[in-house]
Structure 1
């Protein structure tokens, strides 16, 4: 299984489990996570969802080998839900969502934090939005959600530079809420998840819906703009060269 699911005290923990690929999202993992979020949303026994990763990565983002195959392989078969389905599920998720960033977070491994209600990060973790190094556009409404979350200039650096951000910098920016030692990360994330899960689910959902409602139109508009730019740039010279270089490095 590429996604482990565990329930305890009305908290459902989703653990990305492709450690050999640094928990990069292939089509199967996009589909599994989308379905898991939808099922958690509908389950009256689930109050909170906590997402984390296995091994030394939270998630290395979209599997770049599959991204190249999508461009170059006429026989490539996309998943049932894919990246867009996951972002739909995150946008619509009606309950508290907590991320525990245990290691490297790249691409969607960083932009997912725009959808989190609380984010915890290990002191040894690092985050990066590699869009400009891949010659593509932002994703997951990050061009809208990240300025909202961390301010225009922090978001500009994160989205434009393709540079790593360590835990201290992520905390300073407001990209994460708390930074923990590695062995305390899940302890602290679970402790706070349990507090939320002790509250009435109807009340939790009312708080979240009223907080999120003002930004939904902005999220939808940002996704449309990003998708248009992404479609234009994916497979163009800069992106093709970057993907070829990445996959050549993996083979050597």
Structure 2
């Protein structure tokens, strides 16, 4: 589910659920949260790099798991692993680098708002399909994306449910560097290693100082998004979209 490796004070954490395009189910939420907690407490780790195995970085929330959930439980109350992962991303004290190797959908895109550096493969694409699923955004993306890339770029990504190319992400400021596929991990690791060569206490201080002014606003956005998700998940538009997803999957598997 996750592959871990550490070299030169850089911990690489690879999503390894390729059969589901690295979509987050409850187990992967918890495994990723645990990986962040472990890296945060390990003095031999200065920087974490997140990437994906196969042709996807992360396909967001597992829609089959969303479809199978108990509808009597509010969505954000039931998604304990999601809440725990986001809390750990908000509180993660060390530099976080994302190397987007392939498609990134939903949470695969919105978690980039927590990254300190984002590298993308030229073959990677991003999409936030919230409106096409009849739901609200998540992961405090309604605050983080406007702060990072401006209101209009964020509005397009969060409202349109359309794909964003690596070049578009770079122009918006959502990606820092775009690399050919074979160069993605060497490039991301090179920059991570250069950061990791600096004193850890200084890296932590810089990240703390940059993040502290935004912490309350991030949590407020997250609370509002969760309330909207609880209202919309299981509603008519969401149910229609999920049923369409299930029908398309069944057709492919025949």
The structure-2 alpha-carbon separation of the partners of 1:233 and 1:216, relative to structure 1 and needing over 3 Å to count, comes to same
Task: Report the TM-score when normalising by structure 1.
Answer: 0.96
Counterpart in 2 of 1:130?
129
| Residues 134 and 239, structure 1, Cα contact 8 Å, conserved in 2 | yes
Question: Is this contact kept in 2: 1:31–1:79, CA < 8 A?
Answer: no
User: 1:247 offset after TM fit, Å?
Assistant: 1.3
Corresponding residue number in structure 1 for 2:67: 68
Please give the secondary structure, in 2, of the residue aligned with 1:183. helix
CA distance in 2, matches of 1:106, 1:243: 15
Deviation, 1:81, is 4.5
Distance 2:72 2:209 in 1: 44
CA positional deviation for 1:72: 4.9
SS of residue in 1 equivalent to 2:119: strand
What are the superposed Cα offsets for residues 145-196 of structure 1, whole Å, 9 maximum, x if unpaired? 0000000000000000000000010000001100000000000000000000
Give the match's secondary structure for 1:94. coil
In structure 2, the CA distance between the partners of 1:4 and 1:73, relative to structure 1 (3 Å rule), is farther
In the TM superposition, 1:135-174 aligns within 5 A as 135-174=134-173
Match of 2:248 in 1: 249
Cα deviation 1:27-57 (Å, max 9, x = unaligned):
1100100001011111111100000000000
Q: 5 Å matches for 1:1-252?
A: 2-72=1-71, 81-252=80-251
Partner SS for 2:61? coil
In structure 2, the residue corresponding to 1:133 is in which secondary structure? coil
- Matches of 2:60 and 2:72, distance apart in 1: 20
User: How far has the Cα of 1:144 moved from its partner?
Assistant: 0.2
How far did 1:15 drift?
Answer: 0.1
Structure 1 consecutive aligned stretches of length 4 or more whose deviation exceeds 2 Å:
71-74, 78-81
**SS of aligned partner of 2:139:** coil
- Determine helix, strand or coil for the equivalent of 1:157: helix
Q: Which runs of 5+ in 2 are unaligned?
A: none
Give distance in 2, aligned partners of 1:89 and 1:43: 15
